[in-house]
Amino acid sequence: MRGAEAFIKALEYEGVKVIFGYPGGALLPFYDALYDSDLIHILTRHEQGAAHAADGYARVSGKVGVCVGTSGPGATNLVTGVATAYADSSPLVAITGQVPTRLIGNDAFQEIDALGIFMPIVKHNFQIRRSKDIPGTVRAAFEIAKTGRPGPVHIDLPKDVQEEEFNIESNPIPAKIDLPGYKPTVKGHPKQIKMAVNAIIAAERPVIIAGGGVNIANGTEELVKLAELCAIPVCTTLMGKGSFPEEHPLALGMVGMHGTKPANYAVSECDLLIAIGCRFSDRITGDIRSFAPYAKVIHIDIDPAEIGKNVDVDIPIVGDAKLVMRDIISSLLKSCRTGEKVLNNQGREEWLKYLESLKRSSIPKMDYDHTPIKPQRIVKELMDVIQELKLKDKFIITTDVGQNQMWMAHYFKVHLPRTFISSGGLGTMGFGLPAAIGAKIARPEAKVVCVTGDGGFMMNIQELGTIADYGIPVVICIFDNRTLGMVYQWQNLFYRGRQCSVTFGESPDFVKVAKGYGIKAQRVTDPSDIKEVLKEALLSDEPYLIDFVIDPSEGLPMVPPGEKLKNIIEPVKAYPKEKIPSFQEIKKKLLGDSRERSVSKDIPQDFTSPVEREMY
């Protein structure tokens, strides 16, 4: 047995069923061993697509995703996808090929310092120098990736190690791995639990912020029970969507820069803030000095480094979100006899009535009949079709990044955990399409819809080839405004409408591109057609692309960066007016007129040295 075969055996031992990758010279022994394996390999069109697909697979399944890229450019192409997983605490093992050990440091063909490149974006880095280290390294990588705060782990695998002889009897796969110094805390401290319970009982205006950590911990059942037991309203972060059913009477929607009015007002006026599995990023807090100014803060997180990092905390609890909530519920039941004292809190009843009035007064308009189509109408019709086709329990959304992401986050009601997949921390355009591939592989029985903008879609448009080759039946909904909508909105709001490099031309025709891959596709320009086209796509057992031509002037309500959460402003309604210059215009500007170039007064005096001016 060679090292490469031992590596494949180690992956199989970890329960890996599928890997996403792209082969290359430094990985030929690995792929030769893969030939004899039952592992499913999905050949993406780009290593970034492989990383995002593995990430989508991990987020939906809760298992460790695996992606593979060769040495040099193969490794660097994985970087954005791995960094995306790191920012969102998604368990991933990224495997890169490497030149033979004897050539490391000699600038060999396709050699790169993969360990140095991956170091800041992974939980741990491994480079295997001896084949006998393969079983233990793979076990350690998976253990680190999936425990504590999950995240990506990188394994660099030199080619000669893959080819080296390996004796499985002398180097068996360890049944258990012990990692000195790595012991994540999962149980909350009893004293802190008791303090949290007392604070919950005493509070009149409590609110919960549920972050991605609740989804990761599979803590939805406990979150719902805690909220209902104590009559505490719940808002979520972007990564926390799905952790609490958004049609629940206690649901307030998403909080933060693009949050709902009830959620933002609740956090701004609460007297107790219970943050569970969130890291208080700037997109959540706005002006940190005015964030939850009246509140005592309970922060529950499995990563102690996150507690107190951005927001001062009164009651810190380090532990797994699910287990900590379970202990809090147990303690509450003992203290309050089914929460009777909490539910009889007069101040809390008034608080709930106030928030309910905010919810009623801020119901968004979504049934627009305008042409070009308003994105709100698409979201409404999508929710209606899901309801009509009874798909609520088997429906997954992946989004790209930009306005399309925030329209979905703001308006689309999510009912179950691990069904709203998006790039939150890094905000990676191009994430949505390959993530949908991974999501569908993770849950083949589910309907998977990728909602993307035209900009993000074009960043990984080549993955249509992957979808077509394997016949992966995902539905792709493009919010097509031929504009980098979020950048355009910010330029209009904060840069005096000076639009610069935010407009696309009419190329390509997405329907023709999809059909070129053999994928069914339609363009929708009339709002009355939205529902029927969505139904046709969702009832199909084949891949399907829908190009929705939307209003480029439509924006999102938002809190300006660094301002108070209550300061929600409406977008400036303005159509793009930027003109894309032709190549001839660019050429003329670059070369200019030869006579003008010889005139000294045209030399920018402030930006050239005396020597340069003399040379002119």
All structural domains of the chain with their residue ranges = 3-163, 190-361, 375-549, 583-615
pLDDT at residue 593, as a whole number: 59
Beta bridge mates, 317: 300
Average pLDDT over residues 67-84: 98
User: Which whole-number Å values give the CA distances from 48 to 88, 262, 291, in the listed order?
Assistant: 16, 38, 37
Average pLDDT over residues 417-436: 98
Whether 439 and 421 have beta carbons less than 8 Å apart is answered as yes
Burial of 567 (0-12, 13-18, 19+ CB in 10 A): middle
pLDDT at residue 507, as a whole number: 87
Average pLDDT over residues 572-598: 78
- Annotated catalytic, 109? yes
Cβ neighbours of residue 175 under 8 Å, at least 6 residues apart? Answer: none
d(CA 234, CA 489): 29
Q: Which of 9, 63, 123, 159 does the annotation list as catalytic?
A: 159
Average pLDDT over residues 342-370: 89
Number of other CB atoms surrounding residue 616 within 10 Å: 12
Average pLDDT over residues 440-454: 98
Q: H helices within 280-344, ranges in order?
A: 282-285, 321-336, 340-343
pLDDT at residue 343, as a whole number: 55
d(CA 129, CA 113): 15
Q: Which of 427-431, 477-481, 593-597 has the lowest mean pLDDT?
A: 593-597
User: Which whole-number Å values give the CA distances from 52 to 85, 88, 202, in the listed order?
Assistant: 8, 12, 45
Whether 82 and 57 have beta carbons less than 8 Å apart is answered as no
Length of the chain: 616
Res. 594 pLDDT band, cuts 50 70 90: low
d(CA 292, CA 269): 7
The tokens describing 255, both together, are 């909080």
What is the distance of C-alpha 393 from the center of its chain? 21
Whether 92 and 21 have beta carbons less than 8 Å apart is answered as no
pLDDT at residue 609, as a whole number: 46
pLDDT at residue 169, as a whole number: 85
User: Which CATH number, 3.30.70.141, 2.40.50.140, 3.30.420.130, 3.40.50.1220, labels domain 190-361?
Assistant: 3.40.50.1220
Q: Which of 260, 309, 300, 305 is nearest to 282 (CA)?
A: 309
Cβ neighbours of residue 86 under 8 Å, at least 6 residues apart? Answer: 121, 122, 123, 151, 152, 425, 426
Cβ neighbours of residue 198 under 8 Å, at least 6 residues apart? Answer: none
pLDDT in tens, 50-65: 999 999 999 999 999 9
Beta bridge mates, 452: 478
Q: Which of 182-186, 319-323, 543-547, 599-603 has the lowest mean pLDDT?
A: 599-603
Q: H helices within 105-202, ranges in order?
A: 114-118, 134-146, 159-163, 190-202
* Tokens 């697909």, located at residue: 53
> Hey, do 3-163 and 190-361 end up sharing a CATH topology, with the first three levels equal?
yes
> Does residue 508 have a cis bond before it (omega within 30 degrees)?
yes
pLDDT at residue 571, as a whole number: 81
Q: Which of 236, 242, 211 is nearest to 414 (CA)?
A: 242
Q: Look at residue 341 and tell me whether its pLDDT is greater than 70.
A: no
Res. 505 pLDDT band, cuts 50 70 90: confident
With H, G, I as helix, E, B as strand and everything else as coil, classify residue 601.
helix
Q: Which of 257, 406, 458, 486 does the annotation list as catalytic?
A: 486
Average pLDDT over residues 406-414: 96
The tokens describing 33, both together, are 């061993």
Cβ neighbours of residue 181 under 8 Å, at least 6 residues apart? Answer: none
Q: Which of 109, 165, 353, 573 does the annotation list as catalytic?
A: 109
Average pLDDT over residues 198-202: 95
The mean pLDDT value of the chain amounts to 93
pLDDT at residue 535, as a whole number: 98
- Annotated catalytic, 159? yes
Res. 615 pLDDT band, cuts 50 70 90: very low
State the first-to-last Cα distance of the chain, in angstroms, to the nearest integer.
Answer: 69
pLDDT at residue 603, as a whole number: 47
The tokens describing 340, both together, are 């009777």
d(CA 254, CA 504): 30
- Annotated catalytic, 578? no
Res. 570 pLDDT band, cuts 50 70 90: confident
d(CA 442, CA 508): 31
Q: Which of 110, 194, 520, 535 does the annotation list as catalytic?
A: 110
Whether 92 and 145 have beta carbons less than 8 Å apart is answered as yes
Q: Which of 5, 9, 30, 47 does the annotation list as catalytic?
A: 47
CATH number for the domain running over 375-549: 3.40.50.970
Torsions phi, psi for 173 (to 5 deg): -70, 125
User: Which CATH number, 3.40.50.970, 3.30.565.10, 3.40.1190.20, 3.30.200.20, labels domain 3-163?
Assistant: 3.40.50.970
Average pLDDT over residues 113-134: 97
- Annotated catalytic, 47? yes
pLDDT at residue 152, as a whole number: 99
Whether 255 and 235 have beta carbons less than 8 Å apart is answered as yes
User: Which whole-number Å values give the CA distances from 516 to 332, 410, 415, 513, 519, in the listed order?
Assistant: 60, 34, 36, 5, 7
d(CA 252, CA 158): 51
d(CA 512, CA 519): 9
Q: Which of 306, 322, 57 is nearest to 216 (CA)?
A: 322
pLDDT in tens, 268-322: 999 999 999 999 999 999 999 999 999 999 999 999 999 999 999 999 999 999 9
Q: Which of 24-28, 259-263, 442-446, 483-487 has the lowest mean pLDDT?
A: 483-487
Torsions phi, psi for 273 (to 5 deg): -110, 120
